[in-house]
C-alpha cells in the first residue's frame, strides 16, 4: 500500500516543531499519526506492577494488510472502548502508548523520527523502518483472551 489515508497536504511546514499539541488544528493533530498500528494491539497489564506488555493480537477492526483501522470513522459503534486521543487525555494514556508514537514523542519533548510520513513524505517509510505491525498481527477473534500471553512481542522499532 502506498496511498496515505491521512491527508497531510497543505499543512504548515514543520508545524509540530513550533506549535504545542493543544494549539494544533484538527488536521495537524490527525496528521501526527504515523500509521504504525501499534496502538491497535491488545496489551496485558500486570495487576501488581502495572507493567504493560504488548501482544500481536490486534483489535477486531484492525486491517493487518493496510495497517489501519477498517472502520475508523464509525469505530465506536463496534469498539466503544477505543480511545480517542486528545491533548487533554494524553497524560493518563502515556503508560500504554508505544514509545515511537508521535503524540507521545512530542508530549515528552522529543523530536519525530525521520521515517515519520510528515518528514519522509510517504507512509511507506514507517513500514520500511520496521516500526509498524503491518503483516505481523493475529486478529483477536482467532485467539482466546486467556491465550494472549502466548503472543507477547517486543515493541517493533525500539
**Residues near ligand SF4 (CB under 6 A):** 33-40, 59, 61-62, 69, 72, 75, 79, 82, 98, 101-103
Q: How far is the CB of 110 from ligand SF4 (least distance, A)?
A: 13
Secondary structure of residue 48 in the 3-state scheme: coil
- CB-wise, 48 or 81, nearer to ligand SF4? 81
CA 116 to CA 121: how far, in whole Å?
Answer: 8
Inter-residue contact 17 to 114 (CB < 8 Å): no
Shortest separation between residue 42's beta carbon and ligand SF4, angstroms: 9
Give the shortest CB-48-to-ligand SF4 separation in angstroms: 26
Q: How far is the CB of 141 from ligand SF4 (least distance, A)?
A: 12
Cα(24)–Cα(28) distance, integer angstroms: 6
Taking the least distance from each CB to ligand SF4, the nearer of 101 and 129 is 101
Q: Which of 119, 114, 112, 83 is nearest to 21 (CA)?
A: 112
Amino acid at each position: 500500500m502506498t496511498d496515505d489515508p491521512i491527508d497531510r497536504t497543505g499543512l504548515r511546514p514543520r508545524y509540530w516543531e513550533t506549535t504545542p499539541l493543544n494549539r494544533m488544528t484538527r488536521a495537524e493533530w490527525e496528521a501526527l499519526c504515523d500509521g504504525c498500528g501499534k496502538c491497535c494491539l491488545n496489551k496485558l497489564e500486570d495487576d501488581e506492577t502495572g507493567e504493560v506488555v504488548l501482544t500481536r493480537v490486534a483489535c477486531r477492526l484492525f486491517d493487518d494488510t493496510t495497517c489501519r483501522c477498517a472502520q475508523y470513522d464509525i469505530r465506536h459503534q463496534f469498539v466503544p472502548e477505543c480511545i480517542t486521543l486528545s491533548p487533554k487525555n494524553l497524560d493518563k494514556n502515556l503508560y500504554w502508548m508505544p514509545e515511537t508514537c508521535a503524540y507521545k514523542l512530542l508530549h515528552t519533548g522529543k523530536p519525530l523520527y525521520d521515517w515519520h510520513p510528515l518528514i519522509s513524505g510517504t507512509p511507506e517509510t514507517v513500514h520500511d523502518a520496521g516500526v509498524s505491525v503491518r503483516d505481523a498481527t493475529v486478529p483477536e477473534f482467532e485467539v482466546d483472551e486467556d491465550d494472549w500471553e502466548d503472543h507477547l512481542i517486543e515493541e517493533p522499532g525500539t
